[in-house]
Every structure is written in structure tokens, then in C-alpha cells.
């Protein structure tokens, strides 16, 4: 896709398009675009690279299938069964491939933006019986600290006029609409729980209002 190469300057952070190429995947060939965001903080300037995987020509298109996905190294790299993040990412790419058009915006916001070390600390508390919300609160961390300004700017750069979000999280829809993104609807990405993820997903349904069906807590066997 021949897109203009330029700099995006959102209000809160500075994000810049830096590279693109074609990426063959098990779901087809995607155009991969890398964006760098820069944010000044008390400890200095922080830089993060984010990725847009784009299938088809999305320029000036309405109702584009989009997944705004936050990084989860434990699931996506190490195959953790404690969450459904990797499976949601794969399911979203497959849905976009079936549609023949769409985008995955992969944001570097590990652990709902608390970072890897804090995420592992929260895991340790979950092993003691606390759910994902209470574990974060015991550590003095937000339930969900993610922000979506970079996603808005990536959509602007890709010239996507409106989206249909692949998500279980109504708060994500609200946040993007608050940033001016035209969200036409929401498509849940429901992954069957395993014996490790069932209580985590149930906490997200009950305490974070995710659009998930009531889960069977007594799950027999682990996910493969």
C-alpha cells in the first residue's frame, strides 16, 4: 500500500512512522508499518515502537475491521495459559484475512500498561488467590492504564475513516470514540477458557465489564 510518509503529532505524545514492508504470515501477506512514539516523563524521554498490520487497501474506507491489541509477552512469546491474549490476536488476524481487509494495531502496553515486572508481581498475587483487579490495586496500580492516542494517530495515518472493533472491552470503544475515532460497532473475540484462564476471564467479565458469556469455571483440561 503506497501511503504518505510523514510525522504524526498527537496532543499527548509524538509518534512517527518509521518503516514498512510486506510480512507473510499464516493468515496471509500483511503490510507491516512501524511507528515510534515519544513521551516525556519524570525519568526522561521514553520511546516505544508500535506496529500496524494492514491487509488490503484501507485508505478512505469506512467500516474497516480493526483490532487494537496491547502487547502480552507472557502469552504471545512464552505461551502462557493465564490469559487469552495470543489467541485473541490470532483470531483477529484470521477474521481480517477472511474479510480480505482490515488492520491490527499492536500497541506496546504490556500488562494493561503496568509493565512486565509489575505484571509478574500481580501474577504472584493472583497465585495467592487475588483476582487481576485486586492484584493491581494491592500494588497501587490502575485496573487498566492503557491509552489509545497512538492508535488514533495510526488510524489517521492509514487514512481509515471508520472502524468496527474486534474487542470484548466496551471501555476500549468508549476511549477511542473519546479520541475522535469513528467506531461503528464492536465484534467480540471470545476464546474458550482453560483451567488457568477461566478465573481471569471471569474477573474481566464481572469487574471490568468485558462482553464475555458466563464462563464455565470448572474447566476440564488445559488449552493446547
The question of whether 144 is a catalytic residue gets the answer yes
Which residues, in sequence order, are CB contacts of 132 under 8 Å at separation 6+? 122, 126, 200, 203, 204
Please list the residues that pair with 25 across neighbouring strands: 28
Of these residues, 87, 131, 144, 153, which one is catalytic?
Answer: 144
Phi, psi (5° rounding) for residue 22?
-100, 130
Which residues, in sequence order, are CB contacts of 78 under 8 Å at separation 6+? none
Strand arrangement, sheet containing 7-8: 7-8, 14-25, 28-41, 44-55, 102-107, 64-70, 163-166, 183-187
Task: Report d(CA 52, CA 191) in Å as an integer.
Answer: 23
Determine contact, residues 65/99, Cβ cutoff 8 Å. Answer: yes
Of these residues, 67, 146, 152, 153, which one is catalytic?
Answer: 146
The question of whether 222 is a catalytic residue gets the answer no
Task: Report d(CA 76, CA 113) in Å as an integer.
Answer: 16
Closest CA to 215 of 113, 224, 201: 201
| Secondary structure element (H or E) that encloses residue 104, with its range | strand 102-107
Annotated catalytic residues are 144, 146
Amino acid at each position: 500500500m503506497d501511503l504518505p510518509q510523514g510525522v504524526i503529532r498527537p496532543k499527548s505524545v509524538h509518534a512517527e512512522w518509521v518503516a514498512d514492508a510486506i510480512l507473510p504470515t499464516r493468515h496471509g501477506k500483511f503490510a507491516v508499518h512501524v511507528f515510534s512514539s515519544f513521551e516525556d516523563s519524570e525519568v526522561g524521554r521514553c520511546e516505544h515502537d508500535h506496529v500496524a498490520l494492514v491487509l488490503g487497501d484501507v485508505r478512505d474506507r469506512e467500516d474497516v475491521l480493526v483490532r487494537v491489541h496491547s502487547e502480552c509477552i507472557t502469552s504471545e512469546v512464552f505461551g502462557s495459559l493465564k490469559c487469552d491474549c495470543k489467541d485473541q490476536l490470532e483470531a483477529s488476524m484470521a477474521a481480517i484475512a477472511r474479510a480480505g481487509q482490515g488492520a491490527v494495531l499492536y500497541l506496546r502496553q504490556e500488562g494493561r500498561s503496568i509493565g512486565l515486572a509489575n505484571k509478574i508481581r500481580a501474577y504472584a498475587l493472583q497465585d495467592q488467590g487475588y483476582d487481576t483487579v485486586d492484584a493491581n490495586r494491592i500494588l497501587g496500580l490502575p485496573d487498566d492504564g492503557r491509552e489509545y492516542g497512538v492508535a488514533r494517530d495510526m488510524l489517521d495515518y492509514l487514512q481509515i475513516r471508520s472502524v468496527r472493533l474486534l474487542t470484548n472491552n466496551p471501555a476500549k470503544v468508549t476511549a477511542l470514540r473519546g479520541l475522535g475515532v469513528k467506531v461503528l460497532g464492536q465484534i467480540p473475540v471470545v476464546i474458550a477458557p482453560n483451567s488457568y484462564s477461566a478465573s481471569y476471564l471471569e474477573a474481566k467479565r464481572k469487574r471490568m465489564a468485558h462482553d464475555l458469556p458466563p464462563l464455565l469455571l470448572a474447566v476440564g483440561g488445559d488449552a493446547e
